[in-house]
Amino acid sequence: MVSRIKHAALALALSMGALAGACGPAPQPTTPPGGGTTPEGTPDAPADAKPAEATPPAGDAKPPEKAPAAGSEPAKSKPLSATQMEAELKKAGIDLKKIPALEKLPLAQKKKVMPLLQKSLGMDSCQGCHVEGDFKKETRNMKVAREMWRHFVVPLRTEQGGTLFCDSCHSGDKHVLNRSDRKAVEQFMEDEYEHKITLASKAETECSTCHGDAMELKIVEKLWGIAK
């Protein structure tokens, strides 16, 4: 009886060993660094590991440039043109070929001319030059307007001898030159002003006609003596 039991146990052990050999060893749990138990070959990520950063798509390496703020765009250099206001000036009794200094105009004429100055320079109201409530109070823009009238409107003409007024250069904009590129603005002034402007006196025009013999670039401050 004991012999039979031994033989049966031996047979069972051999059959279990054969089964284990056919199926291979059972996977053993592993304990990766940082803790946690996973099947072999797939360890847990360390507790302090950081997620990988996403790679930006091609072409997005640089952040997009911000659009310029409204109103920050530079002025545009505008080509010279004959005035479009000659008919309106005539209605005000102004003959551009025979005009006195601005400050010498009779008050009635001034009141008719001022809106044309405002329109030419693109100003929203009379306060572009004047102090509200005190139109006689001197301002810098009033002084500049007088000198512009004296040095440009009175003596200058177009290539064909046509008259010029404030709108000939300003065209509804107070600032008329894009000064961001020195060479470009010099070329623009040579092409549009020196070559396309003549003098009522028939004298030849050149850079010194406006800038003086010493080529002073700050005409308003240095040649006309009007402080900023």
Number of residues assigned to the chain: 228
69 falls within a domain? no
For the stretch 29-51, pLDDT in tens is 444 444 444 444 444 545 555 55
State pLDDT tens for residues 168-217: 999 999 888 998 999 999 999 999 998 899 999 988 888 999 999 999 99
**Residue 129 resides in a domain:** yes
pTM: 0.65
As to burial, measured by CB atoms within 10 angstroms (0-12 exposed, 13-18 middle, 19+ buried), residue 120 is: buried
Q: Tell me, what's the pLDDT at 1?
A: 45
Q: What is the pLDDT of residue 202?
A: 86
Q: Tell me the residue range of the domain where 94 lies.
A: 86-223
Question: Tens of pLDDT along 157-176?
Answer: 998 888 999 999 999 998 88
Local structure of 156: helix, strand or coil = strand
Total number of domains in the chain: 1
Average predicted confidence (pLDDT) for the chain: 78
In a domain, 127, yes or no: yes
pLDDT score for 110: 93
Residue 70 lies in a domain: no
100 beta partners:
none
Q: Is 38 among the domain residues?
A: no
**190 occurs within a structural domain:** yes
